[in-house]
Amino acid sequence: MIETLPVELIGRILGELDLSDLIKTAQLSRRLRLVASDTTINPWRLPILRNLLSEQYEDAFKNLSVYTTVPRHNWVEILSMGKAPYLLFETTLPNLKHSEWEQSFRIRFLPSFQRKAPTESWKAVFLRVLHQTWHRSCTFCTTNESSTKYIVLNRNGSANLLQVSSRNFNPLVVLNDMRRVAQHNMHHLEVRVRLVVQFADVRILALGTLNRPRSPLTVNANAKIFLHPPGIEFDHNSYSRQRYPLPAQMHAEYPFITPGGGDRRWITSEGSEEGGLQWVGGLMVVAQIRGPDVSAYPALDEELIVGPGRQHYASFTWEDLFTIAPWLKDSVTKQIDGPGLGND
């Protein structure tokens, strides 16, 4: 009889059930209900996590908030990782503390997404930003963000924060214009795109040029440092896993490489990174809004940015850059707001 087992073992067994069976089991007896309600044992976390990482949620997931046996803190994870349209239009949301809504916001969104009025609750901010981001993922509406910001890491160590009209923003066009102006004969070279890190609603892309340069003056050291933190394979004490915002599963170990094939920020072959090529000229860093099934797209070069569902972008700022790549703070020699000295 399961009820005669230690509570920790009961909790472990309950955690192996799917949500519908766990809901039923938790109602069978007073002891099972107490174990299911225990915030420390929390047998709900594993089936909830299995749903969040799956392509399709269980039917029982929709009304999970109505069951008092489900500890409320599970909803921080659900709000942080759940699919936007599901949270907005299908599930029943619970009553949570202001601090839990704030925590959910900080785990889910880039720092620059925080535009909170003094009288606005964190719940209102979370739902407003979630709806705006989802809306922009499936339409070309720019009402809420008329201009889009992006960052260019220059070969001389400086960086520019630039912006263009959201309606006309095409990073490939912007980069090609930038390369055409540069005096390094790069326009004929192929544009390379790397998926840096993916979050619940956006993914960070880096666009630039790889080449075998004739002169070290054209090499962009910060481009390599951004994509491949110095010594990260050997020095785990200088880096810590990203938590705010929380990366998607394919980048769960970020900034460390996440096994599984989706994390391809740097490519090594026979001990040589990027086949012996080096990043030259400016490196453009943008935040692409994740459209439907965007994570299934190929993880390299133009296929990341060309095609349906890959043409929606959000702003990416200094705060965002140093949140996902804090090691760059010491190597970026100058932060320039707008075009100006230092732009490649």
90 with 161, same domain? Answer: no
Residue 14 lies in a domain: yes
Write out pLDDT tens, residues 29-80.
999 999 999 999 999 999 999 999 998 999 999 999 999 999 999 999 999 9
Residue 203 has pLDDT above 90, yes or no: yes
Determine how many CB atoms are found less than 10 A away from the CB of residue 183. Answer: 8
**pLDDT average, residue stretch 196-220:** 92
- The mean pLDDT value of the chain amounts to 90
Question: Which of 82, 106, 130 is the C-terminal boundary of a domain?
Answer: 106
Residue 310 has pLDDT above 80, yes or no: yes
Residue 180 has pLDDT above 70, yes or no: yes
16 Cα distance to chain centroid:
28
62 with 185, same domain? Answer: no
92 with 220, same domain? Answer: no
Residue 118 lies in a domain: no
Contact assessment for residue 126 and residue 106, using Cβ atoms and an 8 Å cutoff: no
For the chain, the domain total comes to: 2
Residue 135 lies in a domain: no
227 with 79, same domain? Answer: no
Residue 125 lies in a domain: no
Integer Rg of the chain from CA? 23
68 with 162, same domain? Answer: no
Residue 319 lies in a domain: yes
Write out pLDDT tens, residues 223-280.
999 999 999 988 788 899 999 999 999 999 999 999 887 898 888 765 567 888 999 9
Q: What percent of the chain is predicted at pLDDT more than 70? A: 94
314 Cα distance to chain centroid:
12
Domain of 66, in residue numbers:
2-106
Token digits for 256? 């460390």
Distance in angstroms (rounded) separating the CA atoms of residues 279 and 262: 21
Residue 188 lies in a domain: yes
Distance in angstroms (rounded) separating the CA atoms of residues 282 and 199: 24
Residue 140 lies in a domain: no
